[in-house]
Amino acid sequence: MIDMLIQRYDRKLLIYLGVLAVTGTVMLYSASWYESFASSNGRTDMLFLQGHLKRMLVGVFFLFGFLILDYRRLKEIAPYFLIGSIILLILTKIYYLANGYSWYKPARWLFVGSVSLQTSDIARMAIIIFMAYYVDKKRELLSDFQTGFLPALVVLGVTMGLIVIQPDYSTAMMIGIIGVLILFIGGAKISQLSLAGAVALLIGIPVLLSREYRKQRILSFFGIGDSADVGYQASQSLISLGNGGIFGVGLGNSIEKNHLLPTPHTDFIFAIIGEEMGFILGTVPVLTLFLLIFFRGLKVAKECTDPFGVFLAVGISFNLILYAFVNAAVVTGLFPVTGLPMPMVSYGGSGMVINMALIGILLNISQARRTVGGNRGWSPSHYV
């Protein structure tokens, strides 16, 4: 049975993912070797590479797990998964407060033995699955504000609020955008979305500016403010890209990764890719891979005859492309610094595993697209 399933998966999608993962691994080692050497007191230059490969191995396990599991079974657990992710967000904040940290101390990781979980990543996956489930179940009622649209907004608002107080404003914003996109694809009215957007701005802007470091980042982005440290990382990333130019300085030859650009293997790894591989061989191919994955995801959604599968595929596809291009926009100075990683490329544990799991779900939908009957008279092309 497994052999029959594997014969139907979207091979191009898996190939693009594999190329991106290999590229990301090579560039992560190149970007992190100096940091690894310093962090390990000179014992090894592969400290972060080893961690990355371990996380990738776990991610591959989850990918194939969700590749085999029928994605339609996610509808059965969607509400419980969401409730569980909300509980994890609450426990994360309580854990830090109980250990004597102040309310403003970053509280984004929940530790289970030697394993740390970034609970906002789990919430991101839960929201994508739940919103697809909700829109599938309520799509006839979405046009009604009170019984259809408002409950979805409440769920989004509560989840985003719990992430904002971690504090992780940028992740909360991304989750909100993805949730609203699924609602839009599902048939929510433009007037409802506009009203929700206006309310979100009225609440979100004061919350954004309420923390001094976020305020300083915004001011620095517009060239206002007298703190050179705030805009240092963004400035160094532009220098890194400038060093690379069209063809790059060569793999492993970055200057900025040698403690000039802070933590170059995480949120600003795209700058190292640009510096070492250049515009033609580095940044453009990486972004092209994300676009190819995105378009394959939309193709999977368009060919699926099950509404839940369509909404889920669209949510997963937009999740990956938004994270990738927002990260690239930050590195190139088009957006203020956000702290969002580049999927499959930046160093990180929970994000890697969650993104792999989401790709596994997308591959599972691509297997089922010719076998799921769906609702008669319903056409996915109406939504995608």
For 299-341, the pLDDT digits (tens) are: 999 999 899 999 999 999 999 999 999 999 999 999 998 889 9
Q: Please write the tens of the pLDDT for every residue from 208-264.
A: 888 888 888 888 888 786 666 778 888 999 999 999 999 999 999 999 998 889 889
Calculate the alpha carbon distances from 59 to 53, 72, 351, 358, 360 in Å. 10, 21, 9, 10, 10
Torsions phi, psi of 237, nearest 5? Answer: -65, -40
Question: How many CA atoms does the CB half-sphere of 226 hold within 13 Å?
Answer: 0
What confidence category does residue 106 fall into, taking pLDDT thresholds of 50, 70 and 90? confident
Write down the pLDDT at residue 296: 96
Task: Give the number of other Cβ atoms within 10 Å of residue 98's Cβ.
Answer: 9
Write down the pLDDT at residue 141: 85
Torsions phi, psi of 300, nearest 5? Answer: -60, -45
What confidence category does residue 369 fall into, taking pLDDT thresholds of 50, 70 and 90? low
List beta partners, residue 117: 110
Mean pLDDT rounded to a whole number for the chain: 89
**Token pair belonging to 333:** 């100075």
List beta partners, residue 116: 111
Write down the pLDDT at residue 84: 97
pLDDT at 376 over 60: no
Q: Please write the tens of the pLDDT for every residue from 153-164.
A: 999 999 999 999
**Token pair belonging to 298:** 């939309």
Our CA angle for 94, 99, 104, nearest 5°, is 65
DSSP-assigned states of every residue in 160-176? HHHHHTTT-HHHHHHHH
pLDDT at 125 over 80: yes
Q: Please write the tens of the pLDDT for every residue from 165-205.
A: 998 999 999 999 999 999 999 989 999 999 999 999 999 99
State percent of the chain over pLDDT 70. 93
Residues listed for the chain: 384
- How many secondary structure helices (H) and strands (E) does the chain include? 14, 2
The pTM score is 0.92
Mean pLDDT of 286-308: 95
Q: Please write the tens of the pLDDT for every residue from 6-32.
A: 557 888 999 999 999 999 999 999 999
Write down the pLDDT at residue 290: 98
SS3 annotation, 336-364: CCCCCCCCCCCCCCHHHHHHHHHHHHHHH
Torsion of CA 81, 84, 85, 89, to 10 degrees: 170
Least confident of 46-60, 75-89, 316-330, 362-376: 362-376
Write down the pLDDT at residue 226: 60
Give the whole-angstrom CA distance, residue 310 versus residue 298.
9
**Token pair belonging to 104:** 């403003």
**Higher pLDDT residue, 140 or 122?**
122
